[in-house]
Structure 1
Amino acid sequence: MTASPSAPAAPTPSLPEPVPIDLGGVRIATYEFGADGSASRGDVLFCHGTPWSAQVWAPVARALSVTFRVHLWDMPGYGRSGKEADVPLDLVTQSERFARLLEHWQLESPHVIAHDIGGAVALGAHLRGGSQFASLALWDVVTLDPWGSPFFRLVAEHADVFSALPPALHAALVREYISGAAHRTLTAEQSELLVSPWIEGEGQAGFYRQIAALSPEHTEPLVERLHQVRCPVRIGWGEQDPWIPVEQASRLQEALPGEPPLAVLPDVGHLAPIEATEPVATALAEWLAGAADQGASASA
């Protein structure tokens, strides 16, 4: 019996054209869409990590936009935001920008969903900057020590050398690096969405510059204050995350107040929003529905 050919993979949901805004002279690509007015159960803001962009959250954001108004941004130095050499890309500065972005959007208490260093950025805005969140979902986040692979540290020490690689060699390195974050094989389309910002225009120099700007020194003060988080939190992790071991999920759970719920996804690596879009979107939709109901009850 001849097996019927498998159906082609569904196209990866994409984001609309970005709306550029200026924050302190820095160009930031932003995206907003989804339910409005009485049809919306609230505002959800996504934070991406490195070396990603808002595209990493696009499939989940599309799923949640049926009942929520969703907001995404490319941090300066990433995606379609500015990659100028004189723009600071450290975690403290990105946290300050995130807090200012909430003010720009006039979001007083949104639900925040963060991945990778986006977790450190969101926590920095909350714990250092005083930003208020209705809830916070942390997926495979950079917060606890240790973080940063040997390759990451090597690049940080020799960013100028790596920036001078021939373009073809750089592109191959970036593709290998990004594919290595996933436990499941990325499709060619998924890989291209994640790789393309780093191999066009200022992307090559920007890729190494953003790595060099990141330091555990900027997350250590956050770890000491995790017990001060002032909103409901949930944690998600890929069980096979090759970059941030899953044991950090339990440690994070212990450090945060109230023993937040933890979801560990089997056979999933660091890129859970792409590798396991449906389980992640379902888990977040259930979490947000509960958080929105609690918020409505509290304000009644």
Structure 2
Amino acid sequence: MNDADHTDLVLVPFAGAEPPAPDWFTQAMARTPEQASVASDATDIEYLAWGDKGKPGLLLLHGGGAHAWWWAHIAPFFENTHRVAAMSMAGMGGSGWKQSYSVEQTARDMRAMTEAAGLFEAGKPVIAGHSFGGAPTVTAAADAEGWARLAIVIDSSLDMAHQPTREKFTTQRERRYFDSLEAGLKRFRFMPPQSCENHFIADMIARKSLVEIDGKGWSWCFDPNNYRKTQGVDSRAKAKAAQCPLAIVYGERSLLMEHHYVDKLREDLPSETPFIAIPDSGHHVMVDQPLALVAAMRTLMA
């Protein structure tokens, strides 16, 4: 079977070349972020930051197997009004790898990064997490100190299995290497698999997902055993214990947010909780409908 048979390999048609991009994307990516890290639980946690300190804070958290750069085309839309920081979870992006991970510790990492990036200087920040990042986001929201003003959960039903005992991840996985950057780009796909119309976003994310390792080639910048080594939480219990308002944003055609999942969330969360469905979006809302996501978040944060 060749690459053409894999419709989820969204960058194969470009053979390593950068797809054309609209002006809004080019302008957003020209807003170069600060790049820094903070030590949390003896592990360096990478973060990117935009906007001036002293403005209201906004923390952005990615999903599983991703990294802070998934937000690089979104964050600049908030920098005029907010101090924005996107974090890479431990074991992903430029953050350190560990022998074991936990959702609880990721929530503590979020707090440490929020302080380091200066997101508290204008009061409590807004926190937003996508997919696998939804669990640490509601865990941070449930912190007894009540340090967040609002928690936005993006395309996470909170029914997702965060426990490392899932059958798919019970065995040790070896790191995969590619002979070239172009070879790695050809193998990039979204999880769960989906088509993609905004190839320029997928290309940016894929390029930021590949790192060159001396003598071995190019590889994805995440611990391949991260899921297997992650201790989860009861995400719904955390959501119910939130010390700040929650908001749910999701892709209207997301496989992870089918009607019964959304209905269950509505039953569990306070009646005043906003639910915003982004039209014509799958699970990866910041890829499928980035500007609609910006508009939804701006409205929630107003």
TM-score, with normalisation over the residues of structure 1?
0.76
Q: 1:100 aligned to 96, 112, 120, which one?
A: 112
Q: 1:58 aligned to 72, 77, 94, which one?
A: 72
Answering whether residue 85 of structure 2 is matched by residue 71 of structure 1, we say: yes
Q: 1:89 aligned to 75, 87, 101, which one?
A: 101
User: Which residue of the partner structure matches residue 273 of structure 2?
Assistant: 260
1:51–1:247 Cα change, 3 Å: farther
Query: What percent identity do the matched residue pairs reach?
Result: 18
Cα contact 1:48–1:118 (8 A) shared by 2: yes
1:253–1:64 Cα change, 3 Å: farther
Q: C-alpha separation between the residues in 2 aligned to 1:191 and 1:45?
A: 24
User: Which residue of the partner structure matches residue 120 of structure 1?
Assistant: 135
* Residue pairs, 1:1-300, within 5 angstroms: 8-10=20-22, 11=25, 13-14=28-29, 16-37=33-54, 40=55, 42-83=56-97, 86-105=98-117, 107=120, 109-128=124-143, 130-141=145-156, 143-145=158-160, 153-154=167-168, 156-160=169-173, 163=174, 165=176, 167=178, 171=184, 175-176=188-189, 178=190, 180-187=192-199, 190-194=202-206, 196-198=208-210, 200-201=212-213, 203-204=219-220, 206-214=222-230, 218-220=232-234, 222-245=235-258, 247-289=260-302
Amino acid in structure 2 at the alignment position of 1:94: T
Cα contact 2:185–2:203 (8 A) shared by 1: no
Q: Choose between structure 1 and 2: higher helix proportion.
A: 1
Q: C-alpha separation between the residues in 1 aligned to 2:157 and 2:130?
A: 8
Cα deviations by residue, 1:72-98 (Å, 9 ceiling, x for unpaired) = 211121112223xx4533322212222
Amino acid in structure 2 at the alignment position of 1:135: L
1:187–1:172 Cα change, 3 Å: closer
Cα contact 1:53–1:194 (8 A) shared by 2: no
* SS at 1:158 equivalent: coil
Amino acid in structure 1 at the alignment position of 2:227: I
- How far residue 23 of structure 1 moved from its aligned partner, in angstroms, is 2.3
User: Which residue of the partner structure matches residue 297 of structure 1?
Assistant: none
* SS at 1:18 equivalent: strand
* SS at 1:175 equivalent: coil
- How far residue 288 of structure 1 moved from its aligned partner, in angstroms, is 0.8
* SS at 1:240 equivalent: coil
- How far residue 237 of structure 1 moved from its aligned partner, in angstroms, is 0.6
Q: C-alpha separation between the residues in 2 aligned to 1:50 and 1:279?
A: 22
* SS at 1:46 equivalent: strand
Q: C-alpha separation between the residues in 2 aligned to 1:165 and 1:58?
A: 25
Gaps of 5+ in 1: 1-6, 290-300
1:166–1:49 Cα change, 3 Å: closer
Cα contact 1:112–1:133 (8 A) shared by 2: yes
1:120–1:138 Cα change, 3 Å: same
Aligned residues between the structures = 268
Cα deviations by residue, 1:104-147 (Å, 9 ceiling, x for unpaired) = 44625211111112111121123256442111111112522557
- How far residue 43 of structure 1 moved from its aligned partner, in angstroms, is 1.1
Amino acid in structure 2 at the alignment position of 1:76: A
* SS at 1:257 equivalent: coil
TM-score, with normalisation over the residues of structure 2?
0.75
Gaps of 5+ in 2: 1-18
Q: C-alpha separation between the residues in 2 aligned to 1:168 and 1:179?
A: 23
Q: C-alpha separation between the residues in 1 aligned to 2:171 and 2:221?
A: 12
Cα contact 1:181–1:270 (8 A) shared by 2: no
